[in-house]
Amino acid sequence: MPVYVDSCVVLDIMTDDERYGEWSAGILDAYRDQGLWVHWMVFAEICAGLAHVSEAEEVLRELGLEIRTSRQTGLWLAAKAFVRYRAAGGTKTSPLPDFFIGAQAEDECVALITRDVQRFKTYFPSVTLISPAADG
């Protein structure tokens, strides 16, 4: 079964992050045979620091990542998570990228590779999270 990959993991590799770069590259290698997916929002997040879309497309090719689009049920789940966030005192006025990413993983019953576990644990507790904390 494929797994979703969060932008922090891709950015760790792109920036050769001292703390997590090696872990992120290793975890993608470990799951590559299952298939590695990124939500379209992750693609947008990695594009932010690049000069041209072709650079982001090359990153996806090199890492073996496939862009997935949102399904309507995933978008609905993201909206419901955002409503819970606002009810809990959240201050953002529109859904955060993590809501779209977590909702899509939940909707497709797919695990998520991430370092940013707290929001996913809180709003998408049924999603299996693959993180450095879970590894060690």
For residue 93, what pLDDT is reported? Answer: 87
Q: Could you read off the pLDDT of 41-100 as tens digits, one per residue?
A: 999 999 999 999 999 999 999 999 999 999 999 999 999 999 999 999 999 888 889 999
At 94, which CATH number? 3.40.50.1010
For residue 94, what pLDDT is reported? Answer: 81
Total number of domains in the chain: 1
Question: Whole-prediction pTM value?
Answer: 0.91
Q: Could you read off the pLDDT of 101-123 as tens digits, one per residue?
A: 999 999 999 999 999 899 899 99
For residue 136, what pLDDT is reported? Answer: 47
**Alpha-carbon span 27 to 22, nearest angstrom:** 9
Domain membership of residue 120 as a residue range:
3-135
pLDDT, average across residues 22-28: 98
For residue 135, what pLDDT is reported? Answer: 58
The closest of 23, 37, 42, 56 to 98, measured between CA atoms, is 42
For residue 120, what pLDDT is reported? Answer: 94
Confidence of residue 134 (pLDDT cuts 50, 70, 90): low
